[in-house]
Amino acid sequence: MRKMMLSIALLSALPFASSLALAEESCSGNGTPMTKAAIQSQLKAQGYTKIKELKSHGGCYEAKGFDRYGKRFELEINSYTGKINNNEG
């Protein structure tokens, strides 16, 4: 019974682990990463007007703030390409 419960627990954790791996891979790149100022400028041009936080981590930038409609956003941006990896809010 204990082995079966452990197996179930491990299998249920697999989708979560694979999503973490994909997030790390999505922030890889070659060359020089974009600066915070360049990322901020790009986001403002796309309508993310009130950027409250912009942090760099593992090849990505994490941006939080409000768009032009006042809707809260949280984005992960590849620092090498400027591509938005996800859009949560």
Cα atoms found within 13 Å of the Cα of residue 51, Cβ hemisphere only: 21
Q: Which domain holds residue 56?
A: 2-88
Residues 46, 85: Cα–Cα separation, whole Å: 14
pLDDT at res. 54: 96
Q: Domain containing 38 — which CATH number?
A: 3.10.450
Each residue's pLDDT tens digit, 29-77: 888 999 999 999 999 999 999 999 999 988 899 999 999 999 999 999 9
Residue predicted with more confidence, 41 or 18: 41
Residues 73, 52: Cα–Cα separation, whole Å: 10
pLDDT at res. 5: 58
pTM of the entire predicted model: 0.65
Grade residue 23 by pLDDT with cuts at 50, 70 and 90. Answer: very low
- Our count of domains for the chain comes to 1
